[in-house]
Structure 1
Amino acid sequence: MSAAPESSAAPSPTGSVYAPTERTVPTRSKERAAYDRSLVHAILDEAYVCHLGFVRDGTPVVLPTLYGRVGERLYVHGSTGSRPLRMAGQHDPGLPVCLTVTHVDGLVLARSAFHHSINYRSVVVHGVAHQVTDPEEKRRALDALVDHVVPGRTADSRPANAKELAATAVLALDLAEVSAKVRTGGPNDEPEDLDLPHWAGVVPLTRGHGPLVPADDLAEGIEVPAYLREL
């Protein structure tokens, strides 16, 4: 287990923006980069899945996984036997990772093939992840993971028991070296292409929830809770 000290609470914000670093300043389209703390939180809170990248035996590995945010800390979970969880427990001072989240908001169709693009919002987090061993923080992290998917669900489900907690490992990653990147607007065609006879513009993409599908073995009389109706 990492010898780094573990806090039972997520760190507090130190300002309205994250300080840019060499790793968080993009080499292309620097004007799209942002370090505003509220923007980063909004992008993270709206997504469901992150991609966690790390190096194993000299080879890069990227895994999709659920996550949750508590203040300035992200939590990801998995089986105690999963590779990143084992590696975070074996290495001191932890597991260097890169965590990313992306929303695709629109397909940008230009007159030229070269200028086709997408409108998006993304966050990249660099840092060192540590296994959570404090029982109170671990429970809070797992609650955050459940409520991140459906707010209010933790209070409407059975908490994990001792066996389930023992089989589940949690990684904590502080939001310190962070950047957001956003593209909005229409295509950026060359002036000489503006008269070409091709449709150009944006195909917006939106996320939605379909009708609820109750479990086949759901007992009669259990009504849909308000937090699900609000979805």
Structure 2
Amino acid sequence: MLSQTPRTVINKGAHKAVLETQALYQIIDESLIGHIAIDDQSTPLVIPMLVWRVDDMIYIHGAHNSRLLRRLKHGAQTCVTFTLFDGWVLARSAFHHSAHYRSAVVLGQFSQIEQASEKDRLLNHFIEQIAPGRTEQVRLSSDKELAATMLLAMPLTEASVKIGKFGVNDDKQDMDRQVWAGILPYRTVVGPLQADPNLNPELESPDYSAAYGHRWHDNIE
């Protein structure tokens, strides 16, 4: 279960709060893009970054001259949000239109991982997450490339999850209005692969469908 702190208790739309840790993991793993907030002295900033999870930690990486990473590596408090949009809820009244979504907010501080072997392991884990088996085929990062990459980690110790999955909620007086009402779903479809034009035509296309389940294009019903 997710820990409840004064910063993670959901007051607005409390019926959408979800406390299962697995729900948090699923949102992060499917999104892989987090919006990270910092106070950059002159202005607040929210920057989208690739974010991946290993067990109960999340990771981000980038160049050493990134102002976001420079701020975060010194332990600045931050907030990382993940959002998956699943569809529109179309009501009989304009006021009651809404959305289906899954969102997560993670609070805390990042710390820097400096050991080259650990950086290599975690970066390769990310590649395997998006394309299983790929690290056995590609050239792995050199010492120079690892040294040029900053890797930061943050524990998932303070987080909240909110999921909107409810149907149309029209007022009683609008129920007889003759207008279509219901759900307009959104789906993320992954694939098919698009080959590099310089690729050897004799190479077989890899199969990465295992990483995407029902989102893989051949599995869409």
TM-score strictly above 0.5: yes
Q: Which residue of 1 aligns with 2:52?
A: 68
Name which of structure 1's ranges 150-159 and 180-189 shifts more when overlaid on structure 2.
Answer: 150-159
What is the CA distance between 1:137 and its match in structure 2? 2.3
Match of 2:157 among 162, 176, 181: 176
What is the CA distance between 1:111 and its match in structure 2? 1.1
The number of aligned residues is 212
Contact 1:75–1:172 (8 Å) recurs in 2: yes
Contact 1:35–1:178 (8 Å) recurs in 2: no
What is the CA distance between 1:58 and its match in structure 2? 5.0
- Aligned residues: CA RMSD: 1.7
Amino acid at match of 1:218: L
Q: Unpaired runs of 5+ in structure 2? A: 217-221
* Cα deviation code 1:147-170 (max 9, x no counterpart): 333333333322111221122111
Taking the aligned partners of 2:19 and 2:135, their CA distance within structure 1 comes to 31
Q: Which residue of 2 aligns with 1:95?
A: 76
Normalised by the size of structure 2, how large is the TM-score?
Answer: 0.89
Contact 2:116–2:146 (8 Å) recurs in 1: no
Q: Which residue of 2 aligns with 1:32?
A: 16
Q: Which residue of 2 aligns with 1:104?
A: 85
Secondary structure of 1:164's match? Answer: helix
Match of 2:171 among 190, 194, 203: 190
Q: Percent identity?
A: 40
Q: Unpaired runs of 5+ in structure 1? A: 1-16
* Cα deviation code 1:17-37 (max 9, x no counterpart): 121111111220111111211
Secondary structure of 2:114's match? Answer: coil
Q: Does 1:227 align with 2:211?
A: no
Q: Does 1:55 align with 2:39?
A: yes
Name which of structure 1's ranges 182-191 and 172-181 shifts more when overlaid on structure 2.
Answer: 182-191
Q: Which residue of 2 aligns with 1:207?
A: 188
What is the CA distance between 1:224 and its match in structure 2? 1.0
Amino acid at match of 1:107: W
